[in-house]
Amino acid sequence: MADPLIVYLHGTPGAPEELQSFVSEADLAGLELVGLERHNLPHDLSGEAFVAALARRVGGLAGDRAVHLVGFSMGVCLALRIAALDRLSIARLDLIAPAGPLDLGGPFEMAGGSLFRMARDNRRLFRVLTGAQALAAGLAPALIYRALFGTARASDRAIADDPAFQGSLTSILKDGFGPGYVRDMLTYVEDWGASLTRVRASTHIWQGDQDNWVPPAMAEAIGGALPNLVAFHLLPGQSHYGALKTALPRILTEVRAKVCEDA
């Protein structure tokens, strides 16, 4: 029997390499975890076509296996929209520090809220600003890193100071503001709140109670809109990446336990 397949959708800016700081070899025993690289998909797809292309890639990875889909931060947008297409057999859907649709309600005090509104309301200005971000990140990724984590709270402070994580994310940020970033952002700011009611997969939400990037109220609103929410895990003392560090090993353990139970 093939190992259970867990497909991970990273945040924005981000890359599958961010997993290396949070998952050990022991965590992965008996499991296959794939960080889905999406930056090399065509850049001229519409938002819905982009999501459909991602769904085809997940299906291609899975073959005839059920998929365990994990989304982190803005990767949650794509995880939910893939699940809403109902083209895959999704055994379980885990949403970590979930950035929800802007049309869900609120207003929610998200980090970068003004940038999201700009991407939605003035795409030309957003593209100009993103070009400047890309130039700055290419020349001085360490400065972008410090700016990004300048408001880090709770568990994220220790994570931001970890040399291994700092090196990994700084490398990701260096090329993290290109066409893939722009496409992810423009896909995210579309109106997609109505699609939540079409998500039938059994869903778990993992949210740090100290997260100042994605507020707990947004995660709660997402949970309230999903028809098959199994559990809402509020993680005490955890912020944004702290939620990822805490949740991922627990998710892998629970998937492995379920496989053993069903065997």
CA separation for the pair 95, 213 (Å, rounded): 15
Q: If you classify domain 5-262 with CATH, what class do you get?
A: alpha beta
What residue segments make up the domains of the chain, in order of their start?
5-262
* Half-sphere CA count of 145, side-chain side, radius 13 A: 24
Which pLDDT belongs to residue 107?
Answer: 63
> pTM to 2 decimals?
0.95
pLDDT at 1: 57
Tokens of 111: 């980090």
Farthest-apart Cα atoms in the chain, separation: 54
pLDDT tens column, 114-144: 899 999 999 999 999 999 999 999 999 999 9
pLDDT digits (tens, 9 = 90+) for 62-94: 888 889 999 999 999 999 999 999 888 899 999
Range in 78-82, 90-94, 105-109, 228-232 the model is least confident about: 105-109
**Confidence grade of residue 243 (pLDDT, cut at 50, 70, 90):** very high
Q: What is the pLDDT of residue 221?
A: 94
SS3 sequence of the chain: CCCCEEEEECCCCCCHHHHHHCCCCCCCCCCEEEECCCCCCCCCCCHHHHHHHHHHHHHHHHCCCCEEEEEECCHHHHHHHHHHHCCCCEEEEEEECCCCCHHHCCCCCCCCHHHHHHHHHCHHHHHHHHHHHHHHHHHCHHHHHHHHCCCCCCHHHHHHHCHHHHHHHHHHHHCCCCHHHHHHHHHHCCCCHHHHHHCCCCEEEEEECCCCCCCHHHHHHHHHHCCCEEEEEEECCCCHHHHHHHHHHHHHHHHHHHHHHHC
Token duo for residue 259: 């496989």
Query: Three-state SS string across 184-195, please?
Result: HHHHHCCCCHHH
Angle (CA) 248-105-235 rounded to 5° is 25
Return the pLDDT at 263.
66
Nearby residues of 150 by Cβ (< 8 Å), 6 or more positions away: none
